[in-house]
Structure 1
Amino acid sequence: MKHRLKITVCILLLFLITGYFTKFVYTHPYVGVMVTQNNEGQIIVSESSPQKYWGFGKIYTGDQIVEVNGQPAQDYYPIRMFDSLEQASSIALDRTGPDGVVKRVTFEVSPQLPRNELLTHLIFPWLALLMFSGLSIVIYRRKKSDPAAIQLILFFLSIGLAYFSSFSSGRANPVGMIILYFSMSSVPIFFIQFLKLYLESYQEMLTGRFTMRIFYLLIAAINVIEITRVFYRSRLGDYNSGLMLFYFAGINIYIVIRLIQKFALHRKQNSPMRSLFKFILIGHVSGFAPFIFLFAIPQLFGMAFMSAEISAIFLLIIPFVYLYMFTTKQLFDVDFLLSRFFYYAGIAFFPTIAISVLASLLLTQHNQFWVRWGQLFLVSYLLIILMLFLKEYADLKLRPSLNKDMHNFQGSLGRFSARISRVMKLTDLERVLEQEIYQVLPVKKAVFVTVDTNRLQELTLSEPLDGIRNSLIAAIQSAVGKLDVGTIFSLQRGIGVVAGKKLNRLHILWLDDKGSRTKYNLDELAWLRTLANYSAIVYENLYLVESLVEELEAEFRKKNGNASSPWLSRLIFTLSEKERRKLASDLHDSALQDQLIWYRNLESAMLDHEMGPELHQKLDNIKEGLLDVIHQIRETCNELRPPLLQEMGIVEALRGLFEQAQIRSDFVVDFHPGTFTADINDDQLLTLYRIVQELLRNASKHAKASTIRIALGQEGNHDILLTYKDNGIGLKLEELQDSYHHMGLSGIKERVNSLEGDITFKSAPGQGLEVRIILPLDSARLSQEA
């Protein structure tokens, strides 16, 4: 309750002060005339008014002010205390003409603010104060329990009050001067206090207590001096104090130095905090630098480059920077903004020089007004067209070399497009996309979410995404019908990217906040949209393949009334065998031939050159290693493409397979071949070979068998019979349902089913494995299906 009472009192006091200033400024136009007292005690105009103020063209340098508001000029308070002619309603002066005659001139000052001053001296200050007050209310409602929030509110209000009171102070109002001194001296102190408390939440220290005490003592001393000067200037002497401007500039330079030190430290440590300090530093410099370096410091030497009103407008940058920083968890990508600024500043430099030089030449010609401006327009227009052409060239040639991130994005797109060309499943696509994002962006986590837009309320997410469920649902509902592929939307934490879309199903990629706490910049968002569009094409193709498979299976079931689709399985295995043959050919024609060439070169070098026994032994070991590699490549080629399978027949091909298997493994194969009265087609021939090959591989890797018995024959007139038995460790038959751990045996089942065969397994732990396979020999029906 007491807290609210204090706030209410402060608000009322603020509006009383601003109300008083409003009335004062509105009824006192700015005269803009400065005077001085000569040795004879006369009040002489030392500086006439600038063009935009009331005194321009009425009062001139050298005029002698006699009376102001009906009293002698020497007794008029603004003249006596501040050498100013402000607050005057009537002015009487003596002016010496060209003929040496002194003439008395009287002016009446209108008690109403001119239109040009109404905007800059009253409306703008009110808008600024209302804006600062509104921002303060927003901060108080969101962060009123945070001590840093109170300091930020005081910082905002002191800026607004200093800006508002400056126009009364310029009119020689003592109340305005006092408020201006207090508020202006408080601005940097409140800022340091806010920044100190804000950084303490990140375990960072900006300044110590001793330094703060020095600042407070300095403020107190400066305010005492300045306020004493307001009331006792005649006793202190005739001087223009620059203490306040010196203090204001000095303390802000101190803040900038401390921020630079912090940024340099964290950049050296490659800490994520470097983005925070860079953001604060740039915001602070952007707001205060024009006021300090273009007005405050030059004003100490009497030659300001910019008026106080204009330079103070830059201070409005600061509240938005710190409001954004304080109320959000993310920062602008400062590096991105700086790279763009320097790039565009560089390419705009020479066209600006050209336009400025040509403008100065054209405007000094003695042509008619409309001719000069027509020439200027034509030249500027042509130069801008030329600049746009040059910018297009610069974007192509220079920008990639100046912006290192563009290399990452371009290389990433090429790499990603090559990877997704080999994707065959949705899970593979998502894994490739996830790897690419982790490789390019400094994100903490990336997760894929499949959303049914018709059943949003039933959406369940994994643990990392629990906190964004509501914001994800809200974002989808608010953008219903607009979530096309490549759409990016913000969430409570991170962003969502639509990477695929099929009817009412959305594939959304969620990206967590970046580790640097910066927002995703324009280049990163454009890169994500491109990846999403690439991914959407693959999603669509995978959906088409899935639909085609479903249609084929449905058509087959409709035709044959079967629950399974052997024809489709056989098609898949046929495609797989084509890939195996292609790979075997590539290995044989490239890797194997290269190995043979290097082996022969090494053998030739060993014969042609003398060498020590130690070197000879090492090279001999390398030669043996090359022979092993050559042998392994040949074996791999033979496994991928069985040699002369059709020419030798299944029995001889299996004998060769058994010989190679027994060399590599510790088991003995007992093979019992039979005879066939019917021809075996190519599909059956290759299927039998692959089945036996997989059974031997399983015996070598998993079964730990020492003896294997394989029989191949014909059962009746229409079936091929293959039996297998080993004395290995066996397995539980129910484990065969787990296709992940027994992919080899599952593949055998699929191959048998593809030829409409029958397969049975018999096994138990410690009792080995028995397999019985029957394949039909109905060639006519098989050929008709194919």
Structure 2
Amino acid sequence: MKFGSLVKILIYLFIPIQLWFVYIMASYAYIGVDLKKTNNEWTVIRVDGKVKSGLNLGDIILKVNEEDVNQFSSVIRWKTLEQAETILASRNGVEFKIDTNNFKKISLSDTLGLSGQVFSLFVAALLCKWMPSSRSAQHLSFLFFNIGVTFMSLGASIRGDLLGKSLIGTCLMLLPIVLLHFFIIFFKEKCGLNLPYRFLRYLFAIVPLTFLVYWLWIITNATYYIYVATSMIMVPFFILGVFLNLIFLFYIFIRYRKSNKNTSILIKMIWVSLILSFTPLICFSFIPRILYGYYWVDSFYSSWAVLFFPLSFTYLLASKKLYDIDLVVRRFTLTSALSLFPSSVIVGVISLLYPEESDASRLFISFILCVVLLSLILYSLEYFTTSLERVMFPRKYRLQESLKKIAKKLGLISSFRELKDIILIDIIRTLQVFGGAIVFRYKDSEEVISEGDIDANEVERLAASDVLEHPSYTRYELVHNEEYTCYLILTRKKTNTHLGFEETQWLNLIISYLAVSLENIHLIRKLTMKLEQLAAHIPQEGVSADFAWFRKLMFELQEKERVRIANDLHDTTMQDLFFLKRRCTSLMEKYDFNPEDLAQMNGIIDYIDIINMNLRQSCFELHPFLLQEIGLIRTIEKLVELEAVAADFKIEFQSARAYFIEACDMETKRHLFRVVQELLNNAKKHSQASIIKLEISASASRLVLSYEDDGVGFDTGDTVLREIGASRTGVEYMKSRILSLNGHFELSSGKGQGMKFMAAFPMKEGRTA
């Protein structure tokens, strides 16, 4: 039978049974009196101390509900007075009458039973809803359902209802079998263990047989004796079933402790939690009842401990901390140990304040509830502290968030100069100081990176001196080795106070992160210099796709060289042209030229402007500095404007979702700009197009570049795409850049069909332009 069909059947049966039990509890009060027939008289032999029935030990029961006591069904079946409305009794020869309609209908036991039922069924429903695809979760929900039905039957059972007694006995016997079935399904689903399970059908067959035996009491005169006999079987069966579960777990542990260590650790923790869950009910209620005829602790109270095991598993499955069960158990054990002393104090105070109502059982239950409640509070304290940290500890929360942000940014640093934009500014803002600086002291030189209101000359003197204390600055050593020493120097806070304890801890952690990053950057710089020397001796044909890291390095070196050339052109050649133009203009103003010479001089000045404009465009193409100032979209628009002046075709450029485009890292922007440059250069040289369409779009995870022209096109079969690195021109050049970003591209063209090109990159967030 499928699990869903079983659930529907149980629900259809559950509703009418629940209504019947509610009717029994609402109609009859629990009396709690046991009888024994002596000399044809029914004598009271037990009175539940929690119920004030008005009867004492030795009282003789004469009539029940105005009829002979020998005709009352509860007396015949169970030798109790349950469901009696009126009782006529005799004490020392004096008759008196008790009307049970005046008794309190709902007792503490009923409240505990209903609470346990509602709680168990609620958790069972949540498991079915949260994890419908997990078979182990479904069987765990059935275990909760079984416990819930047991709690549900308590109220009717103690009132002498036949269905209640039969159902509670059946559920009690069913519980260890359901638990064993859950273990088999659980270890198969979570650990891949194929354990035998066919024997379970024989164990499950015992349960309906027991239920039928209960109902045979109706047609027999030996109801009480069958009830006593089945009770003597039911409780030992439950104890034996729990014991067999422990043996089953021990067997799995012995068998798989070497081949599957995670499973062995899991089993040990399950074993411990299972003992903690069932020990109170078995050792303090069932075994004393068998041996001595009474409970040390009423089963109404000790049965609540059974919920510990399934609840712990529910938490582990729902929070996906199953393999952290050892940590969870140790934490809960620690919180329980911490709860023992305050719980003892609370119970002691209660016993002093209310001595008349403080019997041993109530005090014990109060102690257990206090321990459980305080343990849960202490266990969940970390979770609530973390959740409410933003409100309760705002400064600490901001420091932790800033730490995560800086730690993430450290991965973007590729040079010392980037420390200012990526790290130093965040440190100054977080600590709310006036300014800060990072100083690098080499053997022959010194390098200072500063931000904010700080005196660079004073910083250099402080870094060079051996004085650790300064009235306005605080120096922290980041790295110290033979090649260089690095310091972090900070001013006082804007509030003119020293750093607090939490801020100092945060700064020490940042310093440890920075020390590692700076050392790595230093090693990268040395390695880059060596690779630059090595690259000059490696032929282009020898570079294969396996050297992706080398390809990336080559692009970085190429960009570095382009920046150097662009700066040289701007600082030397363009400046020389500017002075040459001023010299020519000055000569024209100083001397009188004839019209022909004047025209030639004006032509020379115009030609200088053209050269200057071409050099400015070349500098822009070599070093697109605008990427960092105005962003990728505006930079490409600038490029399109420059190309449109001299191009024979029209260029249409569009962008979508600019926020995501500008949120990508600078490396992606630079490569994308170079690809656009190459597309436009190829279009000028070969396409003979009349219109070109460019589009850039982005989402949170993907960046797409689309290109289309209506030119002459080409046969893609004639284009040989050689290995990456074999060429840095044309399609191979673009492909190399795209693959260096873990992207892919599609190229479609044909003779007379124009060209379509699409490149897609995974989105990498970084510094926005």
- TM-score range with shorter-chain normalisation? 0.3 to 0.5
Structure 1-normalised TM-score?
A: 0.45
